[in-house]
Amino acid sequence: MTNEEFIQNCHDYALGSLEGKDLAEFQTYLRTANKDELTQLAEILSTASLLPLTLERKAPPPHVKEELMKKIQLSARAGDSVQRRTFEPDVLPVPHKRSWLPFGVTTVIVVMVIGFSFYVFKLMGTIEQQNQRLVGVQTEKQQLATQIVALKNELSRKEEMLKVLSSKRIEITVMNGLDVNPVGYGKIIWDPEKKTAILQVSNLPAVPTDKDYQLWVIKGKQPISAGVFAVSNNEPNFFKITNLAVTEPKEIAAFAITLEPKGGVPAPTGAMYMAGSPKL
Amino acid sequence: MFLLALIEAQVKRNEEDARLLRTIAGGDQAALGRLYDIYSSLVYTMVLRIVKSSDEAEDLVQEVFMQIWNKAKLFSETKGSVYTWVMTIARRKAIDRLRSQEYVHRGSSLDDEHAQDLPDAAYTTNPLHAEMSSEYEGLMRSGLALLSVDQRTVIELSYFDGYTQDQIAKKVDVPLGTVKTRMRQGLMRLREYLKERMK
């Protein structure tokens, strides 16, 4: 509402000709009107309130006052005047001084509470994010540690294999897949003097959790266990073997790999997956 | 000089009237009788002008003073004069009666709910007492005489007859905008005249 519209409405309001939507809008505007606007309205209302003075004065007949005073007396006797004064709201304004202090204090407290709640909420969000990051970092650290251990093991194994390969004398026997797993293949490289060997296998099926592959050295017709191992994929797998029972090629009839119960058995019981004889 | 004396007397009368209302609020019937003696003739004159029936006007006068009796406790002198309070009650009751008779819905008249937020200046006038009344009447009459007939007509139709601006426009056969302008200019002129004379 512009100032011009406000002034126009003040005149209409003072004369009682403002109505409906316009009246409602004006009343709404009045709640936030500034001091100058209220002063202007006050002057206009004051001027309008003097209009009755231009009328030729007439006194009401005496009986009006008499009847009024009787009503007042009855009302007072009935003792309801005070009660009605208390409960009838439909009157002229109840002019009273508004104290804005409680409202102001309440508003400040509400704003502070909202602000603090928002800050706490945001802080909790940040803490949660940091926690998640921390968990992520810890998981990553564990993965890296596991990876380092695996790499160390791998390095150690390769160093052992290099030791075998760098021996003065080495023997090699190739093993081929049998009927159970014809695609499998492998080889065993060993040092007859140090009795250490490297076993390499490829395309062996992954072992069930309750089983192991077992390497056998067959001397004559007697199989002697050279250790157990497990594979989890078809990739080439290398294993180091120590304390090989028989190391001279002429004494070894063959090397064989069977699938046995977990931990191995004294004599082969399961299917043979791979076998090969040293070339003399 | 007489205006300065008038203002001083007015302030004094405001205080006296406010004390009277406090006594009424305490249940003093004689005090209401005294207030009636001060205000009844102007209340009667105004409501009679509005409802144009002496029976209705007499009834309204009783209603107005019954309301004062019941609501005196709610009056606050810090925000206004007894004069404006009483006249506002009277005019509103008369307009409401007029509208209920005509079965015309025109919305409410002066809205009292919001009057409480007005500055004190809204209610400083209190011209009803003997030493002031005739002076104020003279001022208002001379002020009204300055207005054009058209301005005076629309103001009276609105204030005393309770017509809306649309109704006034039809009644005097002019556009609504013209009615608004006449009302505004008329009241502004009256206001300026009074301010000038009160200096």
ipTM of the complex: 0.77
DSSP A97: P
Do the beta carbons of residue A1 and residue A25 sit within 8 Å?
Answer: yes
At A220 the pLDDT is: 87
Contact status of B97 with chain A (Cβ, < 8 Å):
no
Q: What angle do CA A159, A162, A163 make, to 5 degrees?
A: 90
Please provide the size of chain A in residues: 280
Query: CB count, 10 Å around CB of B34?
Result: 15
Contact flag B119-A68 (C-beta cutoff 8 Å)? no
* Predicted pLDDT of residue B13: 72
Strand-strand pairing, A252-261 and A272-276: antiparallel
Residues paired with residue A218 on neighbouring β-strands, in sequence order: A223, A254
User: Residue B115 above 70 pLDDT?
Assistant: no
Residue B178 sits at the chain A interface (C-beta within 8 Å): no
Please give the helix or strand (H or E) that residue A252 lies within, else none: strand A252-261
Residues of B in contact with A49 (CB under 8 A): 83-84, 87-88, 125
The mean per-residue pLDDT over the stretch B73-96 comes to 82
Contact B41 A59 (CB under 8 A): yes
Please, which pLDDT band fits residue B9 given cuts at 50, 70 and 90? low
What's the pLDDT tens digit per position in A231-269? 887 677 888 888 888 889 999 999 999 999 999 999 999
How would you classify the pairing of strands A171-177 and A185-191? Answer: antiparallel
CB-based contacts of A177-184 (< 8 A; 24+ apart in sequence):
A177/A203, A177/A273, A177/A274, A178/A272, A178/A273, A178/A274, A178/A275, A180/A271, A180/A272, A180/A273, A181/A205, A181/A273, A181/A274, A184/A273, A184/A274
A76 close contact with B: CB closer than 8 A: yes
Q: What is the DSSP letter of A264?
A: -
Is A51 in CB contact (< 8 Å) with chain B?
yes
Q: Which residues of A touch B71 (CB under 8 A)?
A: 85, 88, 91-92
Q: Do residue B155 and residue A81 have CB atoms under 8 angstroms apart?
A: no
Q: Is B114 on the interface with A (CB under 8 A)?
A: yes
The CA distances from residue A115 to A37, A123, B75, in Å, are 34, 12, 41
Q: Predicted confidence band at B123 (pLDDT cuts at 50, 70, 90)?
A: very low
Q: In chain A, which residues have pLDDT < 70?
A: 79-99, 234
Which pLDDT does position B73 carry in this prediction? Answer: 87
Going by pLDDT thresholds of 50, 70 and 90, the confidence category of residue B6 is low
Per-residue confidence (pLDDT) for residue B182, from 0 to 100:
92
CB atoms < 10 A from the CB of A202, how many?
16
Q: Can you count the helices (H) and strands (E) in chain B?
A: 9, 0
B121 pLDDT above the threshold of 70:
no
Q: What is the pLDDT of residues B154-174, one digit of tens each?
A: 998 988 888 888 889 999 999
Integer Cα distance of A189 and A196 in angstroms: 9
Q: Flag whether residue A58 sits within 8 Å of chain B, measured between CB atoms.
A: yes
pLDDT-based confidence at residue B112 (cuts at 50, 70, 90)? very low
